[in-house]
Chains A and B, each alone.
Chain A
Amino acid sequence: MEIVCPAGTPASLRAAVKAGAHTVYCGFADETNARNFPGLNFDRDEMREGVKFAHDHGAKVLVAINTYPRAGAEAIWHRAVADAESSGADAVILADLGLLAYAAKHHPGLRRHLSVQAAAANADMLNFYASEFGVKRVVLPRVLSVPEIAAINAETEVETEVFVFGGLCVMAEGRCSLSSYATGLSPNMNGVCSPASHVEYHDDHGALSAKLGGFTIHKVGADEPAPYPTLCKGCFSAGDATGHLFEDPVSLNAEKLIPQLAKAGVTALKIEGRQRSRSYVAQVVRNFRAAVEAQAAGRPMPEGMLAQLTEGQAATAGAYKKTWR
């Protein structure tokens, strides 16, 4: 199986490629991609150089242009598609219907992948994107169990890519405006979720409370670790219950499911984290590359290799296990 690795910077791209990434994904430094964070992403020259470096080392580059273009400003996204093609990128990762139609019409030779932000969650939808826009691969939303992924692959020729490690969306991706409800900025429109610009910490009688857009997301004691206040992983109350009502502050680790995902017909395993450091990326990539090599050779999976890298030391297999729901 192909390992698809994040690169938030040219240095991360080189680190990922050297660590054994088959494929790297990255974005331009603007609102056209869903990790539009300060100090991250590639300008046009860096993209060309990054693609050349990857190709020289036998790796591929995918360019994520996966926010929803703003009305009146679609030209910015159109230019990103054109520049991805001229940089020599192997494919673009798109979510918006209008942008898919544009790319299919004006850049027919540029391979198109469907972003997780389009949340295509069944075989009919995958086949729809293939027949309408020539989509060759779909990144599946994190709402499906492994048997459901196997069933999808049995009904489509489209390649599937699934997340195996890193941040975990609890909601269907690209269909969530929780962040903009609290802050005005959203993944779909701005390429950010629960942005740091809207986070405030308060010392509340020895407890540290974290607010997002003025709403308290969690409160921890002075000696406890304080996870980043991502909205859907906050602590809230409803009825008589108080706790992490949507999701605990966990991240995804599906390393143990690699054999099942291979059997389910998955083409590529995706690692989240373009905002992560290059040493983190290199370590995760090395481990996953070793795991897929072991899988292909029929050797047992290396165990618990990535536990220390997961957010807040807690990991979940997410929706891949049906009981998560």
Chain B
Amino acid sequence: MHLTVGPNQFFWKADAWSAFYDQMAAAPVERVVLGELVCSKRLPFYQDRIPGAIETLLEAGKEVAVTSLALVTLKRERKLTAELVEAGVEVEVNDLTMLAYLPKDVPFSVGPLVNVYNEGTLAWLADRGATRICLPPELPLESVTALAAEGAKRGVTVEVWGHGRLPLAISGRCYHARLHKRTKDNCQFACEDDPDGLTVRTLEDQPFLAMNGVQTLSDSCASMANQLEVLNKAGVNALRLSPQTGDFLGVCQAWRDRIDGRIDAAALSDRLETLSGGMRLSDGFLTGARGADWSRAKEGEVA
């Protein structure tokens, strides 16, 4: 099982952004995907740091890819997306708009925000040049198993969301701006105050979701900590770890220890809970009754 660090979903200050990727050069992971996934308005604040980060990661022997934006509507966003072809590294397609610009002979990877639900779609993408697909987090184990088998048949590496708040929805509306009674065009970058997203609670004060600008995430931190054997058996090739603040290097190391057999599932879960500041873990999309469920929940706890 390989490890991929997915693109940062949040808005971090440029120096924090650079420091994170310097750290990732030393992380025990095979692959790093970087760039702006969620909101094109954030990009000017750190865009000039991207080439340097790519170089540092390549020198450290990582596979590197840049992500395309999750929702492309504006002319400026179309231009940014088209320019990714020139990035010098592989593109991870997270909105099919990218395929309108990618020449047919250029291999690419597909991110979790593209709807790959079945063998026919995987096959079409493979024919078009996809060499790697990170599946949508919503998929149950039966689908993951079928898609991993199809991927193996077609030489496509299949990756699954392994750790981090789940990207549940993307919108034209900015919820951080709405929360501050602003419009998206005058957002004043409210999302920058919440570098891991802002928890959304129910009226019973139960943590439920998290807002991140135009994106809505799960409050829980999805984790495949309890599913490694199952995913190995299903033929999954890689796990995606999604960046968060705090000791993310520790998150990568904990996963490496688990994959290399130094710790068991219980120890990994405990370490991840601590490293994620007590965030609740979930893996219900894969094996539970609903996405928010957690397979290691103790009796009486909210599953």
Interface residues of A (CB under 8 A from B): 68-72, 74, 95-99, 101-102, 119-122, 124-125, 127-128, 141-144, 148, 151, 170-172, 174-178, 180-184, 186, 188-189, 209, 213-219, 232, 234-239, 241-242, 245-247, 319, 322-325
Contacts and interface: CB of A to CB of B under 8 A. Distances in A.
Given A98-B124, A237-B203, A238-B198, A325 B119 contact: no
B166 A238 contact: no
B206 A184 contact: no
Given A188-B117, A241-B179, A319-B173, A181 B168 contact: yes
A144 B211 contact: no
Interface of B: 70-75, 77-78, 95-97, 99-101, 113, 115, 117-125, 136-139, 142-143, 146-147, 150, 166, 168-175, 177-179, 183-185, 198-206, 208-209, 211, 216, 218, 284-285, 288-292, 302
A182 B124 contact: no
B119 A176 contact: no
A217 to B, nearest CB: 8
B290 A72 contact: no
A323 B186 CA distance: 10
A245 B211 contact: yes
A221 to B, nearest CB: 13
A186 B164 CA distance: 21
Nearest to A237: B201
A234 to B, nearest CB: 8
Contact of B124 (A69, A101, A219, A323): A101
Q: Please report whether the interface of chain A is mostly helix, strand, loop or mixed according to DSSP.
A: mixed
Residue of B73, B137, B175 most packed against chain A (CB within 10 A): B73
B280 to A, nearest CB: 13
Contact of A184 (B119, B123, B174, B291): B291
Contact of B200 (A119, A151, A170, A245): A245
B118 A175 contact: no
Contacts of B201: 236-238
Nearest to A144: B73
B73 A122 contact: yes
Given A71-B118, A174-B115, A177-B169, A182 B179 contact: no
Contacts of B209: 178, 181, 236
A95 B201 CA distance: 33
A215 B175 contact: no
B170 A98 contact: no
A39 B206 CA distance: 34
Given A180-B138, A238-B198, A322-B185, A216 B291 contact: no
Contacts of B120: 69, 74, 96-99, 101-102
Contacts of B73: 121-122, 143-144, 148
Given A71-B147, A124-B78, A245-B211, A171 B124 contact: no
Contacts of A218: 203
B72 A184 contact: no
A179 B114 CA distance: 18
Contact of A216 (B113, B118, B179, B203): B203
Contacts of A143: 71, 73, 171-173
11 contacts: A72-B142, A119-B71, A122-B77, A125-B95, A128-B99, A181-B168, A184-B288, A236-B209, A239-B198, A245-B179, A322-B183
B121 A324 contact: no
Contacts of A242: 203
A151 B75 CA distance: 10
A68 B142 contact: no
A180 B143 contact: no
B118 A172 contact: no
Contacts of B184: 325
Given A188-B117, A236-B203, A325-B173, A121 B125 contact: no
Contacts of A71: 117-119, 139, 142-143, 146-147, 150
B115 A188 contact: yes
B290 A176 contact: no
